[in-house]
């Protein structure tokens, strides 16, 4: 089995949602056994003296997680706006005409697709195939929009089949001197034309489809603000601090926006279930992280605390149990993910931060104690990395 095959197999084993709870626990115990065979003293998940009821194998299993590399996703998606990868940039931006000839940079669809496919196929870690190992949902969106010629496979939540396929090629071949964005949607086969309004509008030109793709791979301008406001205003029992929410305006970031919104809906559902704590404070700020900049999104339910044992499987997000595990799965390789609240550790209530996903080097402790005054309630923390220029 080659290295790539091993990576696919490991990714499948770690993220297979069809395993029963017993099968997932057996998987974790086997991984823990292998971990312990290579490490004389396992790292403790919480502190130097874990509760006696927790076995060493269980503690070791808490340390095992799929490799988390959100910066690679950001670097890949940044190519869609980078002049150094101009052909790929032109899949989501209007073509510029050459200043000397006044003509578009590509004479045919075939020439254009060959140029951007060379970028998607590159082997320096930013190839489309490498993204499949990190986020298959994102890989499917890009592949079905840009790569597949036969328009068989849908992409995005709208299940669109319109993309850079044979129908666009046929249209460009018969409309020389045009660029892809100019193709009318009516020129695609009726079977793949959208049957309803999308985001409140009728798609008229291919450029309208491209705009949907761009919103799949990036929160732009106020997209994050409106997405969060829509999701967290669904409950009449909860009140948003609008002054803080305005800090989300103008925040742009490359990511799989559909998966992020899925995670936010799970968070919102958890919050709405605790209707006795109606105050919500959602804010964004720019921070320094990993030698670059990152946007940190904090979602706080004021005065709501967990008080559960920090070793509870649902709190540890083990075996796919509970909403925290589902959130973690959605956010893997997209952003760092932590929560802050009050938890029970060795029968004492303590304020802690639990780091579920972190790409910080060196990795922080799984559980970190924090000062009580820093913790106003249960807080979800999502940290999105900006593109880091080398």
Candidate from 93-97, 372-376, 381-385 with smallest mean pLDDT = 372-376
Please, is 40 exposed, middle or buried when counting C-beta atoms within 10 Å of its C-beta (0-12, 13-18, 19+)?
exposed
CA–CA separation, 133 and 138 (whole Å): 10
The string of DSSP codes covering 215-266 is: HHHEE-TTHHHHHHHHHHTS-TT-EE-HHHHGGGTT--EES-HHHHHHHHHH
Which of 63, 90, 108 corresponds to the end of one domain? 63
Q: How far apart are the first and last CA of the chain?
A: 34
- Tokens 């190519």 — which residue? 79
Please, is 79 exposed, middle or buried when counting C-beta atoms within 10 Å of its C-beta (0-12, 13-18, 19+)?
buried
Shared domain for 209 and 282, answered yes or no, is: no
pLDDT of 110-125, one tens digit each?
Answer: 999 999 999 999 867 7
Which letter does DSSP use for residue 371 in this model? -
Query: How large is the angle between the packed helices 257-272 and 206-217, nearest 10 degrees?
Result: 60
Shared domain for 369 and 224, answered yes or no, is: yes
Shared domain for 38 and 187, answered yes or no, is: no
Tokens of 60: 């070791």
Residue 122: predicted pLDDT: 86
Asked whether residue 21 is assigned to any structural domain, the reply reads yes
Residues 295, 336: contact at Cβ < 8 Å?
Answer: no
Shared domain for 130 and 211, answered yes or no, is: yes
Domain of residue 309, CATH code: 3.30.565
The model's pTM is: 0.83
CA–CA separation, 374 and 298 (whole Å): 13
Domain that holds residue 43: 3-63
Residues 107, 96: contact at Cβ < 8 Å?
Answer: no
pLDDT of 246-296, one tens digit each?
Answer: 999 999 999 999 999 999 999 999 999 998 999 999 999 999 887 888 999
Number of domains in the chain: 3
Residue 12: predicted pLDDT: 53
In terms of C-beta distances under 8 Å and separation of at least 24 residues, what long-range contacts does 207-212 make, across chains too? 207/94, 207/181, 207/182, 209/160, 209/162, 209/163, 209/185, 210/91, 210/92, 210/181, 212/156, 212/158, 212/160
In whole angstroms, how far apart are CA 285 and each of 110, 252, 303, 388? 44, 12, 22, 18
In whole angstroms, how far apart are CA 208 and each of 3, 97, 182, 338? 40, 21, 10, 36
Shared domain for 280 and 296, answered yes or no, is: yes
Asked whether residue 390 is assigned to any structural domain, the reply reads no
CA–CA separation, 287 and 385 (whole Å): 10
Contacts (Cβ under 8 Å, ≥6 apart) of 247: 283, 284, 285
Q: What is the mean pLDDT of the chain?
A: 85
Candidate from 22-36, 71-85, 277-291, 296-310 with smallest mean pLDDT = 22-36
pLDDT of 211-259, one tens digit each?
Answer: 999 999 999 999 999 999 999 987 888 889 999 999 999 999 999 999 9
Shared domain for 30 and 88, answered yes or no, is: no
Q: Is 307 left (phi over 0), alpha (psi -120 to 50) or beta?
A: left
pLDDT of 301-313, one tens digit each?
Answer: 999 999 999 999 9
Shared domain for 252 and 182, answered yes or no, is: no
Shared domain for 125 and 27, answered yes or no, is: no
Asked whether residue 47 is assigned to any structural domain, the reply reads yes
Which of 191, 217, 243 corresponds to the end of one domain? 217
CA–CA separation, 284 and 289 (whole Å): 15
């Amino acid at each position: 089995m080659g290295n790539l095959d091993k990576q696919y197999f490991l990714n499948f084993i770690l993220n297979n949602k069809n395993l029963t709870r017993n099968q997932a626990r057996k998987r974790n115990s086997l991984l823990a056994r292998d971990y312990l065979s290579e490490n004389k003293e396992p790292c403790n998940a919480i502190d130097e003296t874990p509760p006696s009821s927790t076995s060493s194998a269980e503690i070791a299993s808490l340390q095992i997680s799929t490799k988390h590399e959100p910066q690679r996703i950001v670097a890949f998606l940044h190519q869609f706006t980078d002049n150094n990868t101009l052909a790929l940039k032109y899949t989501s931006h209007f073509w510029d005409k050459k200043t000397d000839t006044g003509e578009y940079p590509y004479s045919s669809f075939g020439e254009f697709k060959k140029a951007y496919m060379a970028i998607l196929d590159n082997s320096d870690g930013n190839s489309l195939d490498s993204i499949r190992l990190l986020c298959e949902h994102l890989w499917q969106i890009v592949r079905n929009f840009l790569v597949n010629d036969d328009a068989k496979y849908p992409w995005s939540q709208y299940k669109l089949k319109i993309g850079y396929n044979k129908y666009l090629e046929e249209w460009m071949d018969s409309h020389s001197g045009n660029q892809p964005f100019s193709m009318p949607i009516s020129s695609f086969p009726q079977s793949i034309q959208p049957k309803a309004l999308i985001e409140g509008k009728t798609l008229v030109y291919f450029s309208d489809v491209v705009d949907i793709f761009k919103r799949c791979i990036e929160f732009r301008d106020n997209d994050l603000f409106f997405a969060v406001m829509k999701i967290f205003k669904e409950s009449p029992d909860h009140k948003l601090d609008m002054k803080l929410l305005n800090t989300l305006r103008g925040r742009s970031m490359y990511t799989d926006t559909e998966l992020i919104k899925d995670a936010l809906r799970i968070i919102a559902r958890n919050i709405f279930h605790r209707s006795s704590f109606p105050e919500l404070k959602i804010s964004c700020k720019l921070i320094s992280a990993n030698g670059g900049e990152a946007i940190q999104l904090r979602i706080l339910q004021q005065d709501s605390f967990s008080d559960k044992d920090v070793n509870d499987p649902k709190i540890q997000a083990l075996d796919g149990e509970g909403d925290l595990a589902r959130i973690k799965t959605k956010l893997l390789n997209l952003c760092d993910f932590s929560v802050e609240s009050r938890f029970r550790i060795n029968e004492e209530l303590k304020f802690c931060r639990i780091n579920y996903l972190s790409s910080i080097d060196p990795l922080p402790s799984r559980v970190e104690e924090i000062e009580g005054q820093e913790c106003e309630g249960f807080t979800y923390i999502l940290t999105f990395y900006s593109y880091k220029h080398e």
